[in-house]
Structure 1
Amino acid sequence: MFRRTFWFTAGVGAGVWATTKVNRKLKQLTPESLAAQAADKAIDAGHRLKEIAVDIRAQMAHREAELGEALGLNERPGLPPASRRPAVGRGGPAAVVRLHAADGPPNTAGTHRTTENTTEEPGTGTSYNRNEDH
């Protein structure tokens, strides 16, 4: 008699456990629950990305300070940051040509200055229209 009662109780317990487990899983799979889970994960991912960005910025600032010390850029505190940058071009700093504000921004290649479709080669005094080459 005890065997039958034991197995009956074990069966009822297993049925209750399985029913509870299935009901919980069904509640987790409702659209509202899935949307809430997705929102929570998105917020968590956003926080992680923000922490990564903060760490990267801190490392960048630290490395920039190290490079500034190594290159001696931090030794002249009286100069504005734009004038602290070393002028590097072909032939070293002596070959850098200063342009007037009316001339426009310097070309990064340092070989010639362009305006619209014409190019002036330095030192030659000749200009040509790029559209004529085609």
Structure 2
Amino acid sequence: MFRRAFWFTAGAAAGVWATTKVNRQLKKLTPESLAAQAADKAVEAGHRLKDFALDVKAGMTQREDELNDALGLHQDPDRLDNVTALPGPRRLRAIENSKTTYRPKFSYDRNEDH
């Protein structure tokens, strides 16, 4: 008799446990729950993207400082007296040296062949 009572109780407990697990899973699959999960994932992705953008910006600033140190550009861009220290406009040598214009040896007209 004790053996039957034990297995009856074990079966009832397993049934309650299984029913609870199934009900929890069904609640997770309702449209409201799925929408909330998607919203949480989107917010989490937004935070990760924001952190990535801040890391990129910090890296860019660090690299810009390294390049300015390497090139000797330690001037404050907000001061007006730095404008006179800028080099003048450059001219391309190809434009300066091209006194002759290019003329092809043979004229080509697409409509000539027809």
Report the TM-score when normalising by structure 2.
Answer: 0.72
The number of equivalent residue pairs is 99
How far apart are the structure 2 equivalents of 1:47 and 1:17?
37
How far apart are the structure 1 equivalents of 2:50 and 2:101?
53
How far apart are the structure 2 equivalents of 1:11 and 1:65?
71
How far the C-alpha of 1:111 sits from its partner, in A, is 7.2
How far the C-alpha of 1:18 sits from its partner, in A, is 0.4
Structure 1: segments with no counterpart, 5+ residues: 88-92, 98-109, 113-120
Give % identity.
Answer: 60
Structure 1 segment 1-134 matched on structure 2, within 5 A:
1-74=1-74, 76-77=75-76, 78-80=81-83, 83=86, 96-97=90-91, 110=92, 122=96, 123-124=98-99, 126=101
| Structure with larger RCO (C-alpha < 8 A, sep 6+) | 1
**Structure 1's 124 and 58: CA in aligned 2 closer, same or farther, altered over 3 A?**
same
Q: 2:51 aligns to what SS in structure 1?
A: helix
Report the TM-score when normalising by structure 1.
Answer: 0.62
- Structure with greater Cα Rg: 2
How far the C-alpha of 1:63 sits from its partner, in A, is 0.9
How far apart are the structure 1 equivalents of 2:47 and 2:109?
54
**CA RMSD, Structure 1 to Structure 2 (Å):** 2.9
Give the aligned residue type for 1:65. D
Higher helix share: 2
Structure 2: segments with no counterpart, 5+ residues: none
Aligned match of 1:100: none
